[in-house]
Amino acid sequence: MGSKRKMFITGGIIGIVAAILMKFGNPGNMGMCIACFWRDIAGALGLHRAAVVQYIRPEIIGIIFGAFIISYLTGDFKVRGGSSPLIRFVFGFFLMIGALVFLGCPLRMIIRLANGDLNALVGLVGYVFGIFIGVQFLKKGYSLGKNYEQSKVAGFFFPIFALVLLIFLVVRPAFILFSTEGPGSMGAPVILSLALGAVVGVCLQRSRICTAGGFRDLILIKDSHFLWGILGIFVFTLIGNLILNFNKFNLGFIEQPIAHNDFLFNFLGMTLVGLCSVLLGGCPIRQTILASQGDTDAGITVIGLIVGAAFAHNFGLAASGTGVPVNGKIAVIIGIVFVLFVAYGIVLGNNKKVSKDAKGVSANV
């Protein structure tokens, strides 16, 4: 089977899963959303107090288990880290702010688009724009530096975290918060979410699909390999929705579920997401997969996502169906400026180092 067809079909499986999970109770156009799901988990753990978005999303647990087990069996599980963890944390943090102003990770953006939400098209243009800017930094020598082999124990943190979350989900102790209304109260049956999450985890781990990588490679090396995966997600979510959720299909900008139509901030929110994703080497879902297969740098990034989600709700930055709060707009602009500034600083530093190395030790005084 050709590699592009394989990508398209793998993406297709993820798309069908998204349509099924929406059919069986997930919030509108939220069959899969890594940003929303981590945000709900942050809420369930009490890290923020937005009562409508608190739930231990079983999909995340499934994704982590799926990616962990398959990577262990195939030899992809490798424990590495130490490549600029603090910068990764901060980029993950701002990525989440951008995603919660747009209302969705890049995966949900594609899923929203596949159900007719044209605000996601505005988001997509912003996302590709952010990726384009990020690629310019890559071309100029941007790098977060080498990673190193780490103790194997560290690679088990994420699967253990997922296991703890699963226990919380089943036991439902009093200190774990579950929404009684709003998106957080809506979800497909736990077993179904877990199982389909695991399917997605396996597909993503094996295919290495990354929503940022698809556009990045097209711009950077003219390679459409991963883009076929994204196309597969779109096409099969669309087909799945037309079969399973036909009455919910709604083409247009208004009255879209858990979305707003502030064009500028749909665009800028996703610009921030695209920029951060390229600079991190992967979108939120790719980071979650990597974290599950022993990449502790991706692990720190995911923790940045979780903390970002907590701040987004504690500081009133996150958007809702009614629009983007002023604080959220300011945070996105600060985020873009800050991330550009950091990336520029990294490029400057790296290039200085390269020219120093080229001059040799004798000139290096």
Report in angstroms how near the CB of residue 188 gets to other proteins at its nearest.
31
Selected binder of other proteins within 45, 138, 190, 244 (CB under 8 A): 138
Rule CB under 8 A: is residue 217 a binding residue for other proteins?
yes
CB of 75 to other proteins, least distance (A): 7
Count interface residues toward other proteins (CB under 8 A).
26
Stretch that binds other proteins, among 6-14, 98-106, 143-151, 249-257 (CB under 8 A): 143-151
From the CB of 217, what's the least distance to other proteins, in Å? 7
End-to-end CA, the chain = 56
Among 83, 119, 245, 277, binds other proteins (CB under 8 A): 83
With a CB cutoff of 8 Å and minimum separation 6, the contacts of 166 are 58, 61, 194
150 touches other proteins (CB under 8 A) = no
Q: Report the nearest approach of other proteins to the CB of residue 271 (Å).
A: 20
Region binding other proteins by CB under 8 A among candidate stretches 73-81, 165-173, 265-273, 332-340: 73-81
- Rounded Cα–Cα distance for residues 301 and 284 (Å): 9
SS3 assignment, position 117: strand
| Residue 2 neighbours by CB under 8 Å, 6+ apart | none
E strands along the chain, which residues?
80-81, 148-149
232 binds other proteins (CB under 8 A): no
Amino acid letter for position 341: F
Residue 107's contacts (CB-CB under 8 Å, 6 or more residues apart) are 14, 32, 33, 34, 211, 233, 283, 284, 285
Under the binding rule (CB under 8 A), the answer on residue 147 touching other proteins is yes
Could you tell me which stretch among 216-224, 231-239, 243-251, 338-346 binds other proteins (CB under 8 A)?
216-224
With beta carbons less than 8 A apart as the criterion, state whether 176 and 322 touch.
no
Which DSSP string corresponds to 239-279? HHHHHHSGGG---BSSS-TT----HHHHHHHHHHHHHHHHH
Distance from C-alpha of 61 to C-alpha of 199, rounded to nearest angstrom: 11
Q: Does 291 bind other proteins (CB under 8 A)?
A: no
Identify the residue among 13, 22, 34, 144 touching other proteins (CB under 8 A): 144
Nearer to other proteins, 318 or 346 (CB): 346
155 binds other proteins (CB under 8 A): no
Residue 351 engages other proteins in binding (rule: CB under 8 A): no
Give how far Cα 7 sits from Cα of 77, 207, 295, Å.
21, 7, 23
Beta carbon nearer to other proteins, 143 or 261:
143
148 is a contact residue toward other proteins (CB under 8 A) = yes
Least Å distance, CB 18 to other proteins, is 24
Quote the least distance from Cβ 216 to other proteins, whole Å. 7
Pick the piece of the chain touching other proteins (CB under 8 A) from 8-16, 72-80, 258-266, 316-324: 72-80
Per rule CB under 8 A, is residue 80 in the interface with other proteins? yes
Give Cα separations from 331 to 55, 126, 308 (angstroms).
Answer: 25, 16, 11
Q: Which of 112, 225, 260, 313 binds other proteins (CB under 8 A)?
A: 225
Nearer to other proteins, 240 or 299 (CB): 299
Q: What is the Cα–Cα distance from 176 to 47, expressed in whole angstroms? A: 10
CA neighbours within 13 Å on the CB side: how many for 235? Answer: 13
- What is the binding site for other proteins (CB under 8 A)? 3, 75-76, 78, 80, 83, 138-139, 143-144, 146-148, 208, 210, 213, 216-217, 220-221, 223, 225, 281-282, 295, 297
